[in-house]
Chains A and B, each alone.
Chain A
Amino acid sequence: MVSRPEQDGDQQLRLLADAWDQAAEHWRDGPARQFGEGPLAALLDESRGYLEALRALMDLLEAAERETAG
């Protein structure tokens, strides 16, 4: 079964968060905090918002296909 795009997007989001966690274990200074709390946090937030909107749209498409089948 082919996964929905936003599910793959969620998976990518988790991978990036994991990569940050790993990097943060070896990068613990002011710039690291700036990076993690600033642009990276914004990137993750924006991504979550996008993926949530994509999920709602994909739900609607599935409902349309289901309700108009046959």
Chain B
Amino acid sequence: MLRAPELTADRGGVTGIHADIDALKGLYGALVRYRHAQREVAARGEDQVRATRTALADKASQLRAQAELAQGEYAGCRERAAQAGPEDLPVDCSGYARAVEQATGQLEQIQLWQQRIDDAASEFSGVAGRFSGLLGEELPRLEEHLAAIVASLERARQLQAPAS
């Protein structure tokens, strides 16, 4: 957890702070940009997970339909084979059997990947949640802390200016 250090710049001055204001402003700007940019990174990561899950679900749906179709054709073939008489040509259902095997094998592969991604995404969600909290709550506090130091230094500069 991030903790902003105790602000040593008090209301009336900048006790303990010796810094170039522009350098601190630059750092402040970098922190703000960092927060926005990493939020974008996190959103893109989530989009990527969603897109891959959707693509796998579509493939699984197609393969499930293919497997059902192949199983129906295979069952029809076996029925024709069972009904064929001794004088009929032999009925070869091996092509249908292979089609069933291929579709169900591919479907199982997709389902395995779906499970692996679900597990990994679930594990990742803990890390992502902490990072989201850091970007959403802790980093803004750090920015505020830095902004307060800058404001305090600017006040001190304004107070010193008439005397110089």
Give residues in A with beta carbon < 8 Å to B. 5-6, 8-9, 12-13, 15-16, 19-20, 22-23, 25-32, 34-35, 38-40, 42-43, 46-47, 49-51, 53-54, 56-58, 60-61, 64-65, 67-68
Contact = CB atoms under 8 A, between A and B. Distances in A.
Contact of B30 (A15, A25, A26): A15
Contacts of B120: 56-57, 60
B5 A34 contact: yes
A44 B140 CA distance: 15
What class of interface size applies to chain B in its complex with A? 35 or more
B48 interface: yes
A19 B26 contact: yes
B30 A38 contact: no
The A interface, classified by DSSP as helix, strand, loop or mixed, is helix
A46 to B, nearest CB: 5
A57 B49 contact: yes
Contacts of B131: 46-47, 50
Given A26-B20, A64-B113, A65-B52, 20 more contacts: A15-B34, A19-B29, A26-B22, A27-B23, A29-B18, A30-B8, A31-B16, A39-B138, A43-B139, A46-B2, A46-B131, A50-B127, A50-B131, A51-B41, A57-B45, A57-B121, A58-B45, A60-B117, A64-B56, A65-B55
B3 A20 contact: no
A60 to B, nearest CB: 5
Contacts of A56: 120, 124
Contacts of A38: 2-3, 5
Nearest to B59: A68
A35 B19 CA distance: 13
A5 B139 contact: no
Given A12-B38, A31-B16, A19 B30 contact: yes
